[in-house]
Structure 1
């Protein structure tokens, strides 16, 4: 489904969820304003991804293929020339992009924290013994179980509206969602509270919109590059470098928290067992995001050992 005319200054590929469409429209608006072209000259093509089609099954992403489920069809459309760029929630982008693609820009990062949502209680601590906690994120499940090992984790997928309705229907007593997504949809008021990011480290790259392009299309990469928010690029680059060392995906619980002080990057990384009872953390500071990310990733590997990652990765 294409939302504008086929004669385009740029063609954007995106998923069809309300959040994905909002993000694509934001990129279209920024491209039009930055380069002085009408928005109607930038098309948005909605592509159904494997991740979208699997929503009804309520299966955990880690069980059915990981991050690439939300990007593969968009990647394929870029590589075939059907669209010029792909707009993604950066946390959904695989650590290693397909050959021929690159991440050309990141928009300014939104609130990276997780939001606590419940229609019954005010916080995680207030949940009753053995309450049902809804999430299909193995990171969130592990972090929640680390604090509350008594809770029952129940599968919980769908867009923001679907998950809110599931809370009302009693499918779960509480859940965590990205604060960034709620804010972008104008639903920030739905959050019962925000999780402490020092304890509940966000997913690597959470809260940032990433724009992918073909690596051989310099014109488009330059047009998109004009939208890049340099501080966000630094933080996301550090977190993705950490993931590259860990071979991180949706299959191992991994968290990351990056702060900037001028041009100095401070990265804290975490890996956990699926039950949350074992966790390793590391931190590093520097000016080179790739070096900082690699340092944290290598230290986490040294602490945990490859056997730990093999044991606790979802098979």
Structure 2
């Protein structure tokens, strides 16, 4: 085999059905690039998967979904880890790097219900489940008469709780449903105006150790520059505002040729106060656009919202 091509790559992944789909998707793409390579999956259960009785914001945030995967990279059991970019903390742990940002499916949220066609159709007091303070704040702002409650668990668990009647509707990422062939469960895809997406939602990222330059080279063909520009701008907003699961924050970037348009918001969880802003500029300045938007959000009242959340 050509020494410049890999002989074996092990992918660390969570064991939920969606995470396994994502890992298999990257595996298939690697095999297209390197047909003689042995690409294996190392399935793992993370702390975030095990703690299901409390809201994510109360137990350590999204980093709980990747810590065990990073440990596997560190001790050599795996070479790379595949993540949903919305689950990747804004600050990568020292010694690790996002080798590439790859495919992005739908970035939008999906309304799922067995009884209602949309949030607007739901009568007062009916129950909407979501795992996200970002979604909660926007639903409460637009539909204050609905009861929004926490919903934890992987995608199949959330759908089962809906089907058991624990919720009248749930809101979750559309990309996950599409990727698992559950298009029929989507009653409505919520527009960015209805529910501004999470930072990086729908995009896949591949993480590896910083001291593995050969992996960076092998993974380079999977990098999508246009997706990366959008996600970079979105993540810059969150990083500048110290975004975490405890902060209802959304940011969504769109590309029109070389022009990048970025929208963002910060809110109180009950939706009673929201700061919104938008910025645009060259796609090559994605990071700077995100930082500028964060400053504009501060000028629109984000500082007071952040202070109220402390």
Specify the TM-score bucket, using the shorter chain as the normaliser.
over 0.9
The corresponding residue for 1:139 is 134
The corresponding residue for 2:29 is 30
Greater strand share, structure number: 2
Which of 35, 42, 57 in structure 2 is aligned with 1:45?
42
Taking structure 2 as the reference length, the TM-score comes to 0.94
1:199 Cα deviation after fit: 2.9
The corresponding residue for 2:286 is 289
Number of positions where the alignment pairs a residue of Structure 1 with one of Structure 2? 303
Residues of 1 paired with 2:10 and 2:173: CA distance? 27
Change (3 A) 1:282 1:305: closer
1:195 Cα deviation after fit: 0.7
Where does the alignment leave 5 or more consecutive residues of structure 2 unmatched?
1-5
The corresponding residue for 2:3 is none
The corresponding residue for 1:181 is 176
Q: Name the Cα RMSD after superposition.
A: 1.4
Cα deviations across residues 78-131 of structure 1 (Å, max 9, x unaligned)?
Answer: 122221111000000000000011111122210111010001111101111111
Which of 105, 108, 113 in structure 2 is aligned with 1:110?
105
1:188 Cα deviation after fit: 1.6
Residues of 1 paired with 2:244 and 2:220: CA distance? 26
Change (3 A) 1:289 1:132: same
1:182-261 map, 5 Å: 182-261=177-256
Residues of 2 paired with 1:60 and 1:291: CA distance? 32
Residues of 1 paired with 2:184 and 2:7: CA distance? 37
The corresponding residue for 2:18 is 19
Question: Which segment is superposed worse, 80-89 or 151-160?
Answer: 151-160
The corresponding residue for 1:303 is 300
Q: Report if aligned partners of 1:256, 1:270 keep a CA contact under 8 Å in 2.
A: yes
Q: Report if aligned partners of 2:266, 2:302 keep a CA contact under 8 Å in 1.
A: no
Cα deviations across residues 157-207 of structure 1 (Å, max 9, x unaligned)?
Answer: 222222222112111111111111111101122101111212310001000
Cα deviations across residues 36-62 of structure 1 (Å, max 9, x unaligned)?
Answer: 324xx111101211110112x2x1100
1:153 Cα deviation after fit: 1.8
SS in 2 for 1:91: helix
Does 2:61 match 1:66? yes
Does 2:306 match 1:312? no
Which of 91, 95, 101 in structure 1 is aligned with 2:96?
101
Residues of 2 paired with 1:279 and 1:88: CA distance? 29
Residues of 2 paired with 1:180 and 1:101: CA distance? 26
